[in-house]
Amino acid sequence: MLSTYGHRGKTDGQYAVEPSGHCGGALTPIGVAAPHRRHNRLVALSRQVLEERGFRGFVPFSLLATQLLPLDGGIYVVIRTSDAAPTFLAASTAGWRKGNNPAVSTSRLAAKWVEGAEILYIGKADAGTAADHGLRGRLRQYARHGAGGTSHHGGRYIWQLQDSAALLVAWKPAPDPRGEEDGLLAEFETLHHALPFANLRH
């Protein structure tokens, strides 16, 4: 079953999401950098802006194995550059974890969709020597999860997008992955008054 998120009301599987958020401006948490501004306007977190801030890659999950991924800790993002309305799948390509179905209802996905945002997910990778640490280990886990693995439960909503194969992954090494992740999430919330589509909590 497919559900397409539309912009003109709710008909035959199309969903129009009411603007989310709170009245008034969002506050920046203490200790988190304020959102970037140009000419006193908030800067959209587009691919161009992310590249200017040092993010690299911007490749689909299928090509991660061909990339020289950093062993360092850092942060990563999943972006969708298409302007087309998303189509949600009833089933997920991700693997079941401890017997739990990773899929959620298409109405829940539609309600979580953030209109106008390129970033769908923000994650972090802690430094370390274990196979699942560092950007290389964490991103490979994420790719395996979408192909039926069970080791990266976070960000699973992207695997119910019909065009998940076209999503792009970018990464940035950072000495303080948690601080960088918190800062980017706070900036996204200031812009959109919501967390990214596939981020369920801080």
Helix (H) or strand (E) holding 40, with range, is none
Q: What is the pLDDT of residue 114?
A: 97
Domain definitions of the chain by residue range? 44-192
pLDDT tens digits along 131-151: 667 999 999 999 988 887 766
Q: Which pLDDT tens digit goes with each residue over 13-61?
A: 333 333 343 333 443 443 444 445 444 456 799 999 999 999 999 999 9
Global pTM exceeds 0.85: no
The Cα 4–Cα 87 span in angstroms is 4
Q: Which residue, 65, 37, 70, is CA-closest to 54?
A: 70
pLDDT in tens, 157-194: 999 999 999 999 999 999 999 999 999 999 999 999 99
| Mean pLDDT confidence for 104-117 | 96
